[in-house]
Amino acid sequence: MQINFDGQRVLVTGGSRGIGKEIALAFLNAGNCGVVITGKSDKSPEWINEFVGRVEYLPLDLSSDGWINQLEKEIENRDAFDVCVNNAGINSIHLLPEFPAEKVDEILRVNLHAPIVISGIIARKMQTKQYGRIVNISSIFGVVTKSMRSAYTASKSGLIGVTKTMALDLAKDNILVNAVSPGFIDTQLTRDVLGEEGMKEMAARVPMGRLGDVKEIAIQVVFLSSGLNTYMTGQNVIVDGGFVCE
C-alpha cells in the first residue's frame, strides 16, 4: 500500500515556513489533496503560488484574543478536514527569576492552549465521517530540557500529555492522535540564531553527528496521517538523531 492523500483535506498550522512549510509540501507531493496553512502574517507566503488551487492561506494569530471565533467561522462552512497538524509554536528564552509573566502566558497560549482548541473544533466534523488524523508537533524539550526553557518545556511536555488524552477521547471515532517531537533541525531560523559555528557545535552534540533535515520530520507526520497508520494512537515519536538517548 502506498501513501496517498488524493481527495483529502489537510490543515497545517504555522505552515508558511520552516518545518510547517515542509510538512505542507510533503502532503502536496503525496497526492491530489487540498491544504490549508495558517500563519501570523496577513500576507500569504510566495511559495504557495506554485500550487494554485491546492493551497489556501489563512491568517490566524494564535496569540490574539479573537482567533477562536475566527477559526470557527472559517470551519463552519467547510467540508471536514481529514488531517490536522498542530505545528505553530513560539519560544522565548529567560532564566526563571526574570521570565516575564506575559511571555509565559503567550507561549502556553500558542503552544498548548491553541492545539487543544483547534483539535476540538476540527474533531467535531471528523466525528461525522468517523475518520481523522491529528498530529501535534512537540519537541525534545517536552522530554528533556535545559536552562531558560521553563515555559517552552511546560508547553511541549503538556502537548505530549494531552496528545494521549485526545487519543482516548477520539479513538472510538477512528480519529488517531499522535505527537512528533523534533530534535535539533536545520532550518533558516536555526541558522539565523546559532550561526555557522553554533550549528557545528550543536551537530557535535547529536550522536548521529548532524542536525536533522525538515524532510525527516515531515515524513513522520505524513506516515502518522496516512492510511498506513491504522492502530497507532496516543504516541510521541521522537526524531532527534539519538540526542535524548545519551
Q: Are 64 and 38 within 8 A, CB to CB?
A: no
Report d(CA 130, CA 13) in Å as an integer: 22
Q: Find the radius of gyration of the CA atoms of the chain.
A: 17
Report d(CA 222, CA 28) in Å as an integer: 10
* The C-alpha cell that represents 19 in the structure block: 518545518
**Among 57, 131, 152, 231, the one annotated catalytic:** 152
**Residue 152 designated active-site:** yes
- The angle formed by the CA atoms of residues 84, 85 and 91, to the nearest 5 degrees, is 145
Q: Are 29 and 54 within 8 A, CB to CB?
A: no
Q: Which of 131, 14, 12, 24 is nearest to 63 (CA)?
A: 14
Enter the DSSP assignment of 48: G
Sign of the dihedral defined by the CA atoms of residues 90, 134, 156, 239, in that order: negative
Catalytic residues: 152
